[in-house]
C-alpha cells in the first residue's frame, strides 16, 4: 500500500467561469490507466491540490454516469482556491479521492425527486441531478429548486437553461429580494419560502437539500410542513477537512466523522447529531 | 520467557548492542533543564529520578513534522514524489506504564479503514520498555482512568527498578525477541534481588468514567452552559494537545513556492480557532469552550466508543504544562455528577 496522503496528478481540460468568483474545472487524470479505472459514487468528494499552497476539499460535481473526467466547482475565497483561480487550461493540479459515502440513489428508483440548493451548494446536487437525468426512465418527477443571493451568483447558468427547457424537469429558480435584475423571470424570495410555496407533494418523493447551514435548517422545517418524513430527506454536510480519511481531527461532529461516515446524511441522522456544524 | 536482570551499569552494553544492530535507544535525559525522551549513546545520560518526561514519545511514530512528498513544476510538467518513510528500530527505555498505552490508541485512529503508513511503519519498529513508577506527583492520575504504575498495556517489556538495576519481564513477542536479540546484555535474576515498591497514586475523588462516558454521549449535556463556565480560563494555547500522548490531530500543508517544495504532515491542535474555520467564515467550534469540549469528548467519548481504545492515560502532562492551571480532572469530576 502507498502513502494515503499523496495526490494523483490531473490536467485541467476545461474551465468554466460560473460567476465572478466561482469557477469549474473539468479534470482528467494524467495517468491513462487511472483515467480508465477511476470510479466514484454520487455525493463523494475529493481533495484538490494547488502545489505550493496545499489542498482544499470539494465535492465531485460531475456524475459517475459521465466517465473519463471529473468536474469540480469552487469559490475563490481562500489561499488554495485563489491559487486554483490562477490556473489555466492545460495546467496540472493534484487530486485525492474519492472519499466519503454517497447518495443511495439505487434505493430511489421509481420515486419522485426534489432537489433544493442554495448558491455554491448546487455542485454536490448537480452530480445527483445528472446521475438521475442520465437514467431518467428509472425515476419519477424531477423538481429542482435553486436559489442564490443575486442573479449573478447563480452557477451553471447554461445547465439551468437546459433543465428549464426540458419537459421532464421542473425548475424553480429564485434570488434573494434585491438580487433580481429587470430581466429576471424567476422567483424572488428565500429558498425555504419558495420551496413551501411550490407545494411539492411529499408522497413517494425524496428530497435532496444542500446549502449553507441556516438554509438547510429552514428547508428541513419547510419540508416537514410539506409532509416529508425525515427519512426521505437527504443532505450533504460540509466541515473543514485536511485528510479526508478520518484522521486529522477536524470534521467530527461529536463522534461522527463527516469525511468517513458522511458527508451524506438523512434529516433523521442530522437531527440526532450534536449541534456542532 | 522468565524474568531477566540488567544492572544500571549494564545498560551501556545494551545501548551498544542496540546501536550495533542499527537501532536507536531513546531514554529520559536532562535536556535544557527538563527531562525529555531523547536518543542516548551511554547509560550515564539517562536520568532515573523523574516522574514523567516533558514530551510524549508518540513523536517517534508520529513526528511533529514530516515530509510526505516533494513536488516540482518545470517546463516539462509537474512531478510529485512521495518521500520514503524511514522507520528505524527504536527502543524506548523508561516509558511510564500510563503512557505505554498511548501508541495503541493512536494506532486505532491511524488504521481505521484507511491505513496511515507514515505512522504504522514507524510504530512497528518501536519496542517499549516500560518502567514501573516508584514515585508520582500531584498531577498523576493514571489510577483514575483504570491504569496504574503496574499496568502493562502497550508495553513490550516491563522493567522494575531494584537497588542497582532492573528486573526485566518480557510481555509481548516483540519484547521477547528484543531480549533474546540482546541476550548478552541481560543476566538471570540473582537471589535476593528485590523490586522497589511501586507507588499507588490516589484516585481522583468523584470521577466515574462510565457515568462520564454516558453523560458525554447525550445531546442535552453537550449544550450544557457548564462547559463554558468550567473552561472559561482556557487560553487556547494548545499546550495540552502537544504534550498529550494520545492527541492525534494534524495538518497537511505545502511549504515552498509554486515551483518546488514539500508537502508536510504537521502536528496541529483542536484548540485553535482556525482549526475548524470554514472558508466561508463559519466556524462550528467558534469559541474556546467548544474547542475544549471537543478535546474532552475525544478522550472520554470518541476514543472509548468509536475506537474502543484508551483516550486518556492519566499521565497528567496536560495539567503540568497548562499555563492557566486548568485541571482536566476537575472537569472529569464535574462531568461525572
Residues 6+ apart with CB under 8 A from A93: A9, A10, A12, A25, A27, A48, A49, A50, A51, A84, A87
- Nearest Cα of chain A lies from the Cα of B170 at a distance, in angstroms, of 31
For residue A7, which residues of chain B lie inside 8 Å, CB to CB?
80
* Residue numbers of B between 255 and 314 with CB closer than 8 Å to A: 256-259, 261, 263, 265, 268, 270, 275-280, 282, 284-285, 290, 294, 297-298, 301-302, 305-306
C-alpha cell of residue A249: 481531527
For residue B258, which residues of chain A lie inside 8 Å, CB to CB?
51-53, 83
pLDDT of residue B218: 83
**H-helix or E-strand spanning residue A219:** helix A213-226
Query: Is there a contact between B298 and B305 (Cβ–Cβ < 8 Å)?
Result: no
Contact A78 B78 (CB under 8 A): no
**H-helix or E-strand spanning residue B39:** strand B34-39
For residue B115, which residues of chain A lie inside 8 Å, CB to CB?
1, 4
Please report, to the nearest 10 degrees, the dihedral formed by the alpha carbons of residues B321, B323, B329, B331 taken in order: -140
> Rounded to the nearest 5°, which phi and psi values hold at B291?
-75, -40
Strand partners, A116: A145, A209
Domains by residue range for chain A, with CATH: 8-99 (2.40.30.10), 105-236 (3.40.50.80)
> What residue in A sits closest to B299 (Cα-Cα)?
A255
> Would you say residue A253 has pLDDT above 60?
yes
C-alpha cell of residue A48: 484538490
Nearest-angstrom CA–CA distance, B297 and B289:
12
Residues A4-32 have a mean pLDDT of 95
* Residue numbers of A between 22 and 51 with CB closer than 8 Å to B: 49, 51
- Nearest Cα of chain B lies from the Cα of A151 at a distance, in angstroms, of 20
pLDDT of residue B224: 84
- Whole-number Cα distances in Å, B205 to A87, B198, B208, B314: 60, 21, 9, 14
pLDDT of residue B222: 81
Give the CA angle between residues B215, B106, B53 to the nearest 5°.
100
Contact A240 B277 (CB under 8 A): yes
**Domain ranges across chain B:** 4-336
pLDDT of residue B166: 96
For residue A75, which residues of chain B lie inside 8 Å, CB to CB?
279
pLDDT of residue A95: 97
Query: Is there a contact between A228 and A202 (Cβ–Cβ < 8 Å)?
Result: yes
Per residue in A143-185, pLDDT (tens digit) is: 999 999 999 999 999 999 999 999 999 999 999 999 999 999 9
Nearest-angstrom CA–CA distance, B295 and A249:
10
**H-helix or E-strand spanning residue B210:** helix B209-216
Nearest-angstrom CA–CA distance, A197 and A241:
36
Query: Is there a contact between B239 and B269 (Cβ–Cβ < 8 Å)?
Result: no
A252 falls in which pLDDT band (50, 70, 90)? very high
Listing from the earlier edge strand, what are the strands of the sheet with B126-131? Answer: B34-39, B24-31, B90-95, B126-131, B157-161, B165-170, B4-7, B187-188
Which residue, among B252, B257, B262, B292, would best test binding to A if mutated, counting the most A CBs under 10 Å from its CB?
B252
Please report, to the nearest 10 degrees, the dihedral formed by the alpha carbons of residues B290, B291, B295, B296 taken in order: -30
pLDDT cut 70: percent of chain A above it: 99
Nearest-angstrom CA–CA distance, A37 and B38:
46
Contact A4 B115 (CB under 8 A): yes
Strand partners, A28: A11
Is B323 buried (19+), middle (13-18) or exposed (0-12) by CB count in 10 A? exposed
Listing from the earlier edge strand, what are the strands of the sheet with A142-148? Answer: A187-188, A169-175, A142-148, A112-118, A205-210, A233-236, A264-266
Residues of chain B with pLDDT under 50: none
> Would you say residue A1 has pLDDT above 70?
no
pLDDT of residue B70: 96
The DSSP result for B136-187, as a single string, is --TT--GGGGT--TT--TT-SEEEEE-SSEEEEEE-SHHHHHHHHHTGGG-E
Nearest-angstrom CA–CA distance, B96 and B92:
10
* Residue numbers of A between 137 and 196 with CB closer than 8 Å to B: none
Per residue in B63-117, pLDDT (tens digit) is: 999 999 999 998 888 999 999 998 999 999 999 999 999 999 999 999 998 999 9
Long-range CB pairs of A265-269, under 8 A, 24+ apart, other chains included: A265/A234, A265/A235, A265/A236, A265/A237, A266/A230, A266/A231, A266/A232, A266/A233, A266/A234, A266/A235, A267/A220, A267/A223, A267/A230, A267/A231, A267/A233, A267/A234, A267/A235, A268/A230, A268/A231
pLDDT of residue B287: 93
C-alpha cell of residue A31: 495517468
Query: Is there a contact between B113 and B76 (Cβ–Cβ < 8 Å)?
Result: no
- How many residues comprise chain B? 337
For residue B306, which residues of chain A lie inside 8 Å, CB to CB?
255
A55 touches chain B (CB under 8 A): yes
> Would you say residue A214 has pLDDT above 90?
no
Place of cell 411539492: A200
Per residue in A88-100, pLDDT (tens digit) is: 999 999 999 999 9
- How many residues comprise chain A? 277
pLDDT of residue B223: 80
CB atoms under 10 Å from CB of B190, counted, come to 10
Is B237 buried (19+), middle (13-18) or exposed (0-12) by CB count in 10 A? middle
Among B312, B105, B98, which residue's Cα sits nearest to residue B216?
B312
Which residue, among A59, A75, A153, A250, would best test binding to B if mutated, counting the most B CBs under 10 Å from its CB?
A250
Nearest-angstrom CA–CA distance, A142 and A169:
5
Candidate from A41-45, A268-272, B165-169, B323-327 with smallest mean pLDDT: A268-272
Contact A254 B252 (CB under 8 A): no
Nearest neighbour of B80 by CB, restricted to A94, A242, A254: A94
For residue A248, which residues of chain B lie inside 8 Å, CB to CB?
249-252, 268
Contact B254 A6 (CB under 8 A): no
Work out the end-to-end distance of chain A between its first and last CA atoms, rounded to an integer number of angstroms: 33
SS3 A106: helix
Per residue in B188-206, pLDDT (tens digit) is: 998 888 999 999 999 999 9
Contact B114 A4 (CB under 8 A): yes
Place of cell 449553507: A212
- Is beta strand B77-82 parallel, antiparallel or unpaired with respect to A187-188? unpaired
Residues A241-259 have a mean pLDDT of 93
Residues 6+ apart with CB under 8 A from B122: B60, B61, B62, B85, B87, B90
- Nearest Cα of chain A lies from the Cα of B324 at a distance, in angstroms, of 24
pTM of the full structure: 0.93
A3 touches chain B (CB under 8 A): yes
Nearest-angstrom CA–CA distance, B126 and B104:
12
SS3 A268: helix
C-alpha cell of residue A187: 422567483
**H-helix or E-strand spanning residue B290:** helix B288-297
**H-helix or E-strand spanning residue A45:** strand A45-50
SS3 A7: coil
Amino acid at each position: 500500500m502507498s502513502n494515503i496522503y499523496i495526490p494523483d496528478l490531473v490536467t485541467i481540460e476545461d474551465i468554466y467561469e460560473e460567476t465572478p468568483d466561482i469557477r469549474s474545472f473539468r479534470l482528467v487524470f494524467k495517468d491513462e490507466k487511472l483515467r480508465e479505472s477511476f470510479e466514484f459514487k454520487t455525493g463523494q468528494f475529493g481533495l484538490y491540490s494547488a502545489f505550493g499552497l496545499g489542498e482544499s476539499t470539494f465535492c465531485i460535481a460531475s456524475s459517475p454516469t459521465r466517465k473519463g473526467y471529473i468536474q469540480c466547482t469552487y469559490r475563490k475565497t481562500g489561499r488554495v482556491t485563489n491559487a486554483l483561480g490562477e490556473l489555466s487550461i492545460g495546467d496540472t493540479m493534484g487530486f485525492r479521492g474519492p472519499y466519503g459515502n454517497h447518495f443511495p440513489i439505487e434505493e430511489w428508483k421509481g420515486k419522485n425527486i426534489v432537489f433544493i440548493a442554495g448558491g455554491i451548494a448546487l455542485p454536490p446536487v448537480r452530480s445527483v441531478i445528472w446521475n438521475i437525468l442520465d437514467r431518467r426512465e428509472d425515476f419519477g418527477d424531477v423538481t429542482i429548486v435553486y436559489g442564490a443571493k443575486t442573479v449573478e451568483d447563480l452557477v451553471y447558468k447554461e445547465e439551468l437553461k437546459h433543465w428549464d427547457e426540458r419537459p421532464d424537469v421542473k425548475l424553480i429558480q429564485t434570488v434573494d429580494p434585491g438580487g433580481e435584475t429587470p430581466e429576471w423571470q424567476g422567483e424572488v424570495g428565500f429558498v425555504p419560502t419558495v420551496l413551501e410555496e411550490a407545494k411539492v407533494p411529499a408522497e413517494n418523493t425524496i428530497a435532496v437539500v444542500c446549502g449553507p447551514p441556516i438554509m438547510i435548517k429552514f428547508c428541513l422545517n419547510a419540508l416537514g410542513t410539506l409532509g416529508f418524513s425525515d427519512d426521505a430527506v437527504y443532505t450533504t454536510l460540509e466541515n473543514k477537512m485536511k485528510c479526508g480519511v478520518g484522521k486529522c481531527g477536524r470534521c467530527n461532529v461529536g463522534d461522527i466523522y463527516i469525511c468517513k461516515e458522511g458527508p451524506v446524511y438523512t434529516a433523521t441522522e442530522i437531527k440526532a447529531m450534536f449541534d456542532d456544524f | 520467557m522468565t524474568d531477566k536482570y540488567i544492572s544500571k551499569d549494564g545498560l551501556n552494553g545494551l545501548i551498544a548492542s542496540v546501536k550495533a544492530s542499527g537501532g536507536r535507544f531513546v531514554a529520559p535525559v536532562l535536556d535544557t533543564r527538563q527531562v525529555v525522551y531523547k536518543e542516548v549513546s551511554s547509560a550515564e545520560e539517562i536520568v532515573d529520578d523523574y516522574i514523567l518526561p516533558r514530551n510524549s514519545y508518540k513523536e517517534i511514530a508520529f513526528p511533529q513534522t514530516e515530509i510526505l512528498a516533494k513536488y516540482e513544476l518545470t517546463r516539462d510538467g509537474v512531478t510529485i514524489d512521495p518521500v520514503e518513510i524511514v522507520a528505524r528500530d527504536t527502543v524506548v527505555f523508561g516509558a511510564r506504564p500510563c503512557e505505554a498505552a498511548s501508541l495503541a490508541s493512536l494506532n486505532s485512529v491511524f488504521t481505521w479503514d484507511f491505513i496511515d503508513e507514515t505512522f504504522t511503519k514507524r510504530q512497528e519498529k518501536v519496542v517499549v520498555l516500560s518502567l514501573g513508577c516508584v514515585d508520582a506527583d500531584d498531577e498523576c492520575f493514571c489510577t483514575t482512568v483504570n491504569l496504574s504504575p503496574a499496568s502493562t498495556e502497550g508495553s513490550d517489556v516491563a522493567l522494575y527498578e531494584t537497588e542497582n538495576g532492573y528486573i526485566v519481564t518480557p510481555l509481548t513477542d516483540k519484547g521477547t525477541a528484543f531480549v533474546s536479540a540482546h541476550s548478552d546484555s541481560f543476566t538471570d535474576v540473582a537471589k535476593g534481588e528485590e523490586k522497589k515498591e511501586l507507588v499507588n497514586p490516589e484516585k481522583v475523588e468523584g470521577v466515574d468514567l462510565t457515568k462520564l462516558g454516558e453523560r458525554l454521549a447525550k445531546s442535552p449535556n453537550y449544550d450544557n452552559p457548564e462547559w463554558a463556565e468550567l473552561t472559561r480560563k482556557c487560553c487556547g494555547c494548545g499546550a495540552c494537545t502537544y504534550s498529550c500522548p494520545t492527541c492525534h490531530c494534524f495538518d497537511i500543508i505545502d511549504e515552498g513556492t509554486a515551483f518546488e517544495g514539500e508537502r508536510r504532515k504537521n502536528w496541529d491542535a483542536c484548540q485553535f480557532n482556525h482549526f475548524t474555520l470554514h472558508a466561508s467564515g463559519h466556524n462550528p467550534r467558534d469559541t474556546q469552550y467548544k474547542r475544549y469540549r471537543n478535546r474532552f469528548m475525544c478522550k472520554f467519548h470518541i476514543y472509548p466508543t468509536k475506537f474502543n481504545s484508551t483516550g486518556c492515560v492519566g499521565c497528567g502532562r496536560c495539567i503540568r504544562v497548562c499555563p492557566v492551571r486548568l485541571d482536566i480532572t476537575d472537569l472529569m469530576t464535574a462531568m461525572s455528577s
